[in-house]
Amino acid sequence: MKAEIISIGDELLIGQVVNTNASWMAAELNKAGINVVHIAAVSDEKIAITNALDDASMRADIILLTGGLGPTKDDITKHTLAEYFGVGFVFHESTFQHVKSLFDARNYKLTPVNKKQAEIPENCTPLKNRNGTAPGMWFEKNNKVFVSMPGVPFEMRPLLSEQVIPRLQEKFKLEHIFHKTIMTHGLGESWLAEKISDWTDSLPENIKLAYLPQPGIVRLRLSASGPDQTVLENEVNKYCKSLHAFIPKAIFGYDDISLEKVIGQLLTKNKQTLSTAESCTGGYIAHLITSIAGSSDYFKGAVISYSNDVKSEQLGVSAELLEQYGAVSQEVIEAMALGVQQKLKTDFALATSGIAGPGGGTDEKPVGTVWIALAGPNGVQSKLFHFGEHRGRNIRRSALSALNMLRLEMVGENSERGDCTD
């Protein structure tokens, strides 16, 4: 079953409001087995709304509209829909009593403008909006369903989940849709695609693969549809598990779990502690770690050693090392990791030093050059990275690479995270 979402409002088109409604609605519809094929944002103009309805009717069986149902003159959706369907208005007593009760509860005077909220197109089925005055409106024409809802998320969300989706499930025989997201780090999208090409070719027609890249991470989303939810889950999980033979080190989790959360789970499970010494990342690793609830159980603290003086005075890095090799070097980064590990008395310590950019690079050490070190029970290890020229991405990728070094050390580099239900 195909659906289209039409979001109405000039505020969406001028960038004043982010269209969170559409993304939330798409996720909820997908859970119910409804495939969203198109999302449109249009202005508060009759011709724009009418054209969007015509276009959506060519693509979808279900057309969902949000916005433009308020009591003011710029809210024209209701009148546009009545004209679109060629009908007049009727007064809906139940909606009026609901609006009146809301005003009475707040000791507000009910104005004629507010009373008009109870006037609805004569061919629609009103849907009670328990959080507002504008009812949702359900229309049917040519075997298609049109539903108009308020744009206020607080009002729209319960309408969709409690009334619209259950009605759609009653009206249509919906297939199940199942998604599984595989979280990977360490391989760019094109390299990843090459490594798993044979696995990709083995996927059956009912399982689709999508690449969702972001700095430092590529999410692989497997999507399947069919009549039996259990069969879908078992089939997708089977292919999910078989992927480990192709990229055993790259997979760190499933279903949008973050690397920092995985690290927290491992440290908690092993009753181990972590500290960081950060130069080019400026405390970003510590920020990621402490964004997880309960991180105080395993994270001791950080030394933001942006200057060489702090590297020497707080981490014990010798002036000779800094003079001979420079702050961005294997020798210095390993001394930083060992220094913070000893200073804060932790099982593990991560250290970063690099040239985030956009300036400061040299021919020998261009922008994007980053050294990362990990000190742990088995000693210290370090690795050189070349990330590129974008400062923000360099900081993000450095932090994720550091966390992944720690993950691989804790689970063993050859360990396969084979249970897709983790």
419 domain-assigned:
no
Closest-CA residue to 75 (of 163, 152, 158)? 152
Residue 418 CA to residue 106 CA, distance in Å, equals 56
Phi, psi of 265 (to 5 degrees): -65, -40
Query: Which of the listed residues 138, 171, 204 is the one where a domain comes to its end?
Result: 171
Residues 291 and 214 in one domain: no
Q: Which domain holds residue 62?
A: 2-171
267 domain-assigned:
yes
At residue 413, the pLDDT reads 54
Query: Which of the listed residues 201, 228, 254 is the one where a domain comes to its end?
Result: 254
Residues 22 and 142 in one domain: yes
Residues 264 and 249 in one domain: no
Half-sphere exposure of 139 (CA within 13 A, CB side): 24
Q: What H or E segment, with its residue span, contains residue 224?
A: strand 217-226
Residue 267 CA to residue 254 CA, distance in Å, equals 18
Burial class, 358, CB count within 10 angstroms (exposed 0-12 / middle 13-18 / buried 19+): exposed
Residue 359 CA to residue 40 CA, distance in Å, equals 41
Question: What is the count of structural domains for the chain?
Answer: 3
Instruction: Output the pTM of the full model.
Output: 0.81
Three-class SS of 135-186: CEEEEEECCEEEEEECCCHHHHHHHHHHHHHHHHHHHCCCCEEEEEEEEEEC
Residue 274 CA to residue 348 CA, distance in Å, equals 5
23 domain-assigned:
yes
Residues 247 and 266 in one domain: no
Is the Cα dihedral 33, 37, 39, 45 positive or negative?
A: negative
Q: pLDDT tens digits, the chain, 422 residues: what are they?
A: 999 999 999 999 999 999 999 999 999 999 999 999 999 999 999 999 999 999 999 999 999 999 999 887 778 999 999 999 999 999 999 999 988 898 888 888 888 888 888 999 999 999 999 999 999 999 999 999 999 999 999 999 999 999 999 999 999 988 899 999 999 999 999 999 999 999 999 999 999 999 999 999 999 999 998 889 999 999 999 999 999 999 999 999 999 899 999 999 999 999 999 999 999 999 999 999 999 999 999 999 999 999 999 999 999 999 999 999 999 999 999 999 999 999 999 999 999 999 999 999 999 999 999 999 999 999 999 999 999 899 999 999 999 999 999 999 999 854 445 467 55
DSSP string spanning 189-215? HHHHHHHTHHHHHHS-TTEEEEEEEET
At residue 419, the pLDDT reads 62
Q: Residue 75 carries which side chain, given as an amino acid letter?
A: D
245 domain-assigned:
yes
Q: Is 218 helix (H, G, I), strand (E, B) or coil?
A: strand
Residues in the chain: 422
Residues 280 and 377 in one domain: yes
135 domain-assigned:
yes
Residues 15 and 156 in one domain: yes
Q: Residue 121 has which token pair?
A: 């197109």
Residues 8 and 138 in one domain: yes
Strands (E), 283-392: 299-304, 348-354, 369-376, 379-386
Residue 207 CA to residue 225 CA, distance in Å, equals 8
359 domain-assigned:
yes
246 domain-assigned:
yes
Residue 255 CA to residue 148 CA, distance in Å, equals 32
83 domain-assigned:
yes
At residue 105, the pLDDT reads 86
At residue 414, the pLDDT reads 44
Residue with tokens 């090799």: 325
At residue 422, the pLDDT reads 54
Which residues are bridge partners to 361 per DSSP?
none
Query: Which of the listed residues 212, 235, 254 is the one where a domain comes to its end?
Result: 254
Which residues are bridge partners to 381 per DSSP?
374
Residues 141 and 19 in one domain: yes
Q: How far is CA 276 from CA 271, 287, 292, 364, in A?
A: 17, 11, 16, 26
Is the Cα dihedral 144, 148, 152, 155 positive or negative?
A: negative
Residues 11 and 128 in one domain: yes
Parallel, antiparallel, or unpaired for β 176-185 and 144-149? unpaired
